[in-house]
Amino acid sequence: MFTADGRPSDDDPRENGPTLGDERSTLVESLRCARLTLEMKCAGLDAEALARRSVEPSTMSLLGLIRHLAEGERATFRVMMSGQDVPRLFCSDTDRDGDFDGAVADPRVVAEAWDAWRAEVDFAERFVAGAPDLDITGEDPLNQHGSGGGAVSLREALVGMIWEYARHLGHVDLLRERIDGRIGQ
C-alpha cells in the first residue's frame, strides 16, 4: 500500500475485487474497500497528527473518526444485528461525543482505537459471513439507525454502514490533506 518513504504505492488493495458478484459479495466488497480507505488515509501518521483537530470549534480528527467508526461498527453489528448487550466503547450518556473528545495525542489512545476498530470489523465480518442471508433482521428500538424504531435487515445494515464510511471518508480526505498535504487514494 505504501513505499518505504511513506508514499502511496501503485499497488492498491481495493482494486481487482469481484466485479460480477452477487448482492452479498457486492455489499461486503464495498464495505471492505471503505474500511481499507480509512486505514490507508491514516497510515504513516503519529499520535499527534492523528489527534489533530480539523478547525475550531470542531473536535473532529482522524483519531476521533477511527473511534467513531469503531462505535458505529459495534452498534450496528454487535448490538443491533446480533442483539448483544455490550457497553459503548468510547461514548457514554454523560459524554455522547467521547469518541471525539477522548481522541488525544497519546500513542496508547491510538493503539486502543485501532485495536477496538479492528475487533469490531472482525466481529462484523464474521457475523456477515455466518448469516444465512441478507434478510435476517435485528432490532433498532431507539431508532439509532434510521429504522423508525423497528426491524432492520442485514442488507439495510450493510448499506447503512457503507453510507456511514462514505460520509466520513470525505472528512478523512480533508483532514489528511490538512495534516501533510497528501491527496489521492
- Report the pLDDT value the prediction gives residue 180, as an integer from 0 to 100: 86
Cβ pair 105, 118 in contact under 8 A: no
Cβ pair 26, 38 in contact under 8 A: no
- Report the pLDDT value the prediction gives residue 32, as an integer from 0 to 100: 95
The answer, yes or no, to whether residue 66 has pLDDT greater than 60, is: yes
- Report the pLDDT value the prediction gives residue 14, as an integer from 0 to 100: 45
Which amino acid, residue 142?
Answer: L
- Report the pLDDT value the prediction gives residue 1, as an integer from 0 to 100: 46
CATH architecture of 23-180: Up-down Bundle (1.20)
pLDDT averaged over every residue in the chain: 88
- Report the pLDDT value the prediction gives residue 185, as an integer from 0 to 100: 66
Which residue, 166, 150, 157, is CA-closest to 134?
A: 157
Q: What is the pTM of this model?
A: 0.88
Q: Per-residue pLDDT tens for 37-62?
A: 999 999 999 999 999 998 888 999 99
Q: Per-residue pLDDT tens for 6-16?
A: 555 556 554 66
Bridge partners of 138?
A: 152
Cα 53 to Cα 79: distance, rounded to the nearest angstrom: 29
With cut-offs at 50, 70 and 90, classify the pLDDT of residue 131.
very high
Cβ pair 72, 123 in contact under 8 A: no
Taking the domains of the chain in order of start, what are their residue ranges? 23-180
The pLDDT > 70 percentage for the chain reads 85
